[in-house]
Amino acid sequence: MRLIRYRLLSTVFLLLCSLAYVASSNAMAKSVTLVVHPADEDNGDTRFNDVKEILRMALEKTVSEFGQFTMRPSTQHTNGLRYLNNLANGGDLNVVWSSTTIEKERNYLPIRIPLRKGILGYRIVLIRKEMQASLNNVKTLEDLKKFTVGQGVGWDDSKLYSTNGIEVVEAKYSSLFRMLSYHRFDLFPRGIGEIFTEFEKNHATNPDLAIEEKLLIYYPWPYYFFVSKNDPQLQKRIETGLRKMIKDGSFDAIFWKYNGKAIESVNFKKRRLIQIQNHLLPKETPLQDESLWFKPKMN
């Protein structure tokens, strides 16, 4: 009887140890989330430093609920269209950032918090210096249709401009500044958080370029994180982190850190606003939540 009891206790002990090992192994497996984001398209490309900082902080703020994480760039340096394909086809990426469209929200899981508070929808135009005089008379969308615009390969803006009757020339992002200088197109619309840094970076090699002085183009253009439809847990984690950041003010702190100087430089009150309709915008876009959006004072 004592032997039987001993064997029974030993069996129960081994079973409990096995269960503990399995539970520990599962906990360890879930404790570290690997987050792979797009690599920079070109070396020295700083366009997405703010987005990467937001992503890292959102992950940091959710460690207690979701466990530790490792965050690194993809091994592929490519453009927006291809890294979306990478996400869809099971490549090494599991989170991307992109402007939203009806099609994207059908194919991926969006996190509907605009990463730059919608600031990308406010566009100032990079031009050749001699064009300023002809642009002084542009007041409407019809006036704007007389000019061609340059856009990066795979940018959704290309569809938006084309839908609104504006001719588009597409090329690799880093080539667009030189192409504008060589008269390949007329206007290069850039977000107000982008244009001043890009002008400083490219002016020395393209000295005839200038920042247009009178116009401000606007279309609602939220920029989101997207994850695979097979990864709702990562979607939940990132959204939870972003909501925490909005609540504690750290989201706005990053926004103003990267965009404050540019916003001061725009001089909104001296610009004419031309609004363009965004036919690509999903109906689920949270346009009514004013806490998510930047709105300039035009008057």
Q: Residues 42, 110: one domain?
A: yes
26-69: per-residue pLDDT in tens? Answer: 444 457 999 999 988 777 778 899 999 999 999 999 999 999 99
Domain count, the chain: 2
Q: Residues 134, 192: one domain?
A: yes
6 in a structural domain: no
160-175: per-residue pLDDT in tens? Answer: 999 999 999 999 999 9
In angstroms, the first-to-last Cα distance of the chain is: 93
Average pLDDT over residues 4-20: 50
Q: Residues 172, 54: one domain?
A: no
Q: Residues 105, 234: one domain?
A: yes
Q: What is the DSSP string of 151-200?
A: EETT-THHHHHHHTT--EEEE-GGGHHHHHHTTS-SBEEEETTTHHHHHH
d(CA 299, CA 284) in angstroms, rounded, equals 30
Sign of CA dihedral 299, 296, 200, 159: negative
82-112: per-residue pLDDT in tens? Answer: 777 777 777 788 999 999 999 999 999 999 9
Domain assignment of residue 170, given as a range: 119-218
Query: CATH code at 229?
Result: 3.40.190.10
Q: Residues 107, 235: one domain?
A: yes
47 in a structural domain: yes
C-alpha closest to that of 242 among 66, 58, 95, 117: 58
The encoded tokens of residue 119 equal 């600031």
pLDDT at 48: 92
pLDDT over 80 (residue 284) = yes
pTM: 0.82
